[in-house]
Amino acid sequence: LQTRMQSLQPDPKAQYRTVYEALKKIVLTEGFWRPLRGINVTMLGAGPAHAMYFACYEKMKKSLSDTIQHGGNSHLANGIAGSVATLLHDAVMNPAEVVKQRMQMFNSPYKSVLACIRTVQKTEGFGAFYRSYTTQLTMNVPFQAIHFITYEFMQEQINPRREYNPRSHIVSGAIAGAVAAAATTPLDVCKTLLNTQENTALSSVNISGHLSGMVNAFKTVYQLGGISGYFRGVQARVIYQMPSTAIAWSVYEFFKYFLTKHKLEKRT
């Protein structure tokens, strides 16, 4: 839904005013499973990407917090740790995101994930999978910094003893995801344009070939939609991120609690 709603020059058959209208229209005209197209490639990359992401975050958070604020919880350390963890995460997830978004476009020419990978590799080269990587990092570094700082701040407010408390992890994760998602929507719109290379949109502003670079993407989005163009799909983005970050944090905190408890039991 987010990819479709962020389209800057959509096909008349793929114009949506709200998230509900978009979902209803896609299901009715393109089939029940259409909104989930390309999800398999995301799931494939998500496991190793998130493992590296949380492992790196936890290690860096502890090291930096001890350096910056000995024995305390430093928001600066949380932000830096989240940003560095993002570099590893996005190296895995960026190609998966490119494939997913191309498959989710209206009238997508790709029949399967493998067909999409082969065609993109053949016609645009390996670099196409990382064309939006710098934009992804430029978006995800502030996103994750805001995300981790907000999560840790919320935990301080509603779970000051930092015990395993599923409700507090879900609420903190959802709020952190919503705040970070809303703040970084303009960068996400640019990333979607770089990933999908919308022909109609690019040709309408006399761009031939492939659009590359965040600065060019920012200019193109403004040419096509003005200031409001930067906030296309903000509602869908927030709705998508809230359950996503809530689930990620609650699962992470559960396994952290489970493994720590298991470790202590083995010692005693």
Write out pLDDT tens, residues 62-117: 888 888 877 677 888 999 999 999 988 888 888 888 888 787 776 666 777 788 88
End-to-end Cα, the chain, rounded Å: 51
Greater pLDDT, 141 or 9: 141
What does pTM read for this prediction?
Answer: 0.65
Answer positive or negative: Cα dihedral of 38, 39, 45, 50.
positive
Determine the Cα–Cα distance for residues 60 and 156; give it in Å rounded to an integer.
19
Q: How confident is the model at residue 38 (pLDDT cuts 50, 70, 90)?
A: low
Q: What is the pLDDT of residue 243?
A: 95
Q: For 137, how many CA atoms within 13 A lie in the half-sphere containing its CB?
A: 15
Backbone phi, then psi, for 117, in 5-degree steps? -60, -45
By percentage, how much of the chain surpasses pLDDT 90?
22
By percentage, how much of the chain surpasses pLDDT 70?
80
Mean pLDDT for 122-147 is 85
Q: What is the pLDDT of residue 18?
A: 74
Write out pLDDT tens, residues 189-245: 888 888 777 666 777 777 767 777 778 888 888 988 889 888 888 898 899 899 999
> Which residues are within 8 A (CB) of 70 and not within 5 positions of it... i.e. 6 or more apart?
none
In the chain, which residue ranges form alpha helices assigned H by DSSP? Answer: 2-5, 19-30, 39-68, 75-104, 113-124, 133-158, 166-183, 185-196, 199-204, 214-229, 234-267
> Which residues are within 8 A (CB) of 113 and not within 5 positions of it... i.e. 6 or more apart?
38, 40, 41, 99, 103
